[in-house]
Amino acid sequence: MRLPIMKNKTLKYYLLGGIIALLILYVILAIQIPAVKMRIFFFALWFFGEIYLWITILKSFKNTWKRKTPFLILLVLYWLPACVLGITMGVLAIKGVHQLDKTIYLTVVGVCIIQYLIKFMIFTFVLMYDVIATSIKIFRKNINTEKGKRILLRISLGAYVVAFVLMIYGTIWGAHNFKIREVNIDGYGIKSMSDRELTIVLLSDLHLATWRNHSSIEKAVQMVNDQQPDLIFLTGDLVQFVSEEFVEYMPILSQLRATYGIYSVLGNHDYGRYAYFKTDSARKEDVFKLILYQTLLGWNVLNNESVKIYNDSIPLGLTVAGVEFYSPKRMFVNEGDLIKTFQNVDTNDYIILLSHDPQAWDDVLLKNLPANLTLSGHTHGMQLGIYTSRFRLSPASILYKHWGGLYEKQDKLLYVNVGLGSVGFPARVGMPPEITVIRLKL
């Protein structure tokens, strides 16, 4: 079977097709999910890697593809994720986020992203091999490096299968295998009339549209209530796109119980910037609805404000402050105001700051703001890695200095919850969804 891919002219067609696909994808994202439109550069890199890897496979095993059947099987399996993703983006363009079955959409896109992540890993190894081989050929022109490349591709295929199986496990079981992590914190001798230990449960990043059924959230709620918490904190990203995702889970979330109340802050996904709205006023109205829904459940949404905690009329010596989404890196969402958040706090209290993004802690330290303990989420631990009581490793550390667990500096503490839900891809491998139980001695 003759392979036209071997011609430079056909390579141009691949690249031209890729550029056109990227431009169409950019337009769809810019309209329907404006917050992620700049990720087109990552998609461009992924597409380039996919084309490069495809050409490499065809060239390295060209004798195999002389038979039509193996080539057609490879053709279908290799490009199937791209075709499925293309169809899904077409549905998104036609229906829009508001009319989309968000759970199915996120699952399909997530599975495709898993494919691209694995392919890109293989592409990286192949590219490194080609760079090294080309360098060697400068000094030894007659050396044959193709055999080594074929071996690398066969090993990569095995790695692909292993990685795919792990991701399937992470999707079916890992993403629903909730882990309770307990943390003991001493209040540094802060004087309190309560003189007791408080049980605090921290939840973050529920991303409600990503769950394929209600049973997982029901299980999580039961696990939280089993702790008999004094306080429950939620540090943002309750929804993925819009406030309506919260509505169907309200009967379940209304069952959460805490002696001194439930407090929450907004995450970047809670501001409606991952969905299309005709006007910014419509987007802000959607944010207001999300706050209203939480209020109807009896939750306290803290928007750049603080509240002193009482047992009846007796102060517990504890203040909870909540900042709207805030990042020192100035993301497309940056509604937070740390100065305003702390302006009315009682500095004699033990002060807990709720901030979706843990990077706000950098400013807490820099400005010496009166937060004894900061609680955050946002990172998800990249939903991939190793997270035990003795050892933590995750690609999240590339993006975040503080991505999971407890950190201490300047007599201030930060705890980062790696999230309950999933985002990007619907799987967790070695990074189970977390329910944090904090035993705070005041």
Q: Which residue has the higher pLDDT, 437 or 111?
A: 437
- Let me know whether 334 and 410 are in one domain: yes
Task: Give every strand in the sheet of 350-354, ordered side by side.
Answer: 305-311, 314-322, 350-354, 373-376, 412-416, 405-409
Quote the percentage of the chain above a pLDDT of 90. Answer: 66
- Let me know whether 201 and 109 are in one domain: no
Task: Give every strand in the sheet of 300-301, ordered side by side.
Answer: 179-186, 434-441, 197-203, 231-235, 262-265, 300-301
Quote the number of domains for the chain.
2
- Let me know whether 194 and 240 are in one domain: yes
407-430 pLDDT, tens digit per residue, is 999 999 999 999 999 998 889 999
Q: Supply the range of the domain harboring residue 158.
A: 4-172
Q: Name the domain boundary from 138, 172, 206.
A: 172
Quote the percentage of the chain above a pLDDT of 70. Answer: 95
Give the model's pLDDT for residue 188.
58
Mention every residue, 6+ apart, whose C-beta is less than 8 A from residue 168.
427
- Let me know whether 17 and 149 are in one domain: yes
Query: Which tokens go with 322?
Result: 């909540």
3-class DSSP state of 376: strand
- Let me know whether 184 and 323 are in one domain: yes
pLDDT band at 437 (very low <50, low <70, confident <90, very high): very high
Calculate mean pLDDT across residues 263-279. Answer: 95
Strand partners, 180: 435
Q: Name the domain boundary from 172, 207, 241.
A: 172
Q: What single-letter DSSP state applies at residue 330?
A: -
181-218 pLDDT, tens digit per residue, is 999 998 755 444 456 789 999 999 999 999 988 999 99
pLDDT band at 145 (very low <50, low <70, confident <90, very high): confident
Distance of alpha carbon 278 from alpha carbon 362, whole angstroms: 36
CATH number at residue 330: 3.60.21.10
Give the model's pLDDT for residue 331.
67
326-351 pLDDT, tens digit per residue, is 887 766 678 899 999 999 899 999 99
- Let me know whether 101 and 239 are in one domain: no
Calculate mean pLDDT across residues 360-381. Answer: 96
- Let me know whether 163 and 247 are in one domain: no
pLDDT at 4 over 60: no
Calculate mean pLDDT across residues 227-252. Answer: 97
Distance of alpha carbon 111 from alpha carbon 119, whole angstroms: 13
Secondary structure element (H or E) that encloses residue 179, with its range: strand 179-186
- Let me know whether 99 and 235 are in one domain: no
pLDDT band at 92 (very low <50, low <70, confident <90, very high): very high
pLDDT at 2 over 60: no
- Let me know whether 203 and 151 are in one domain: no
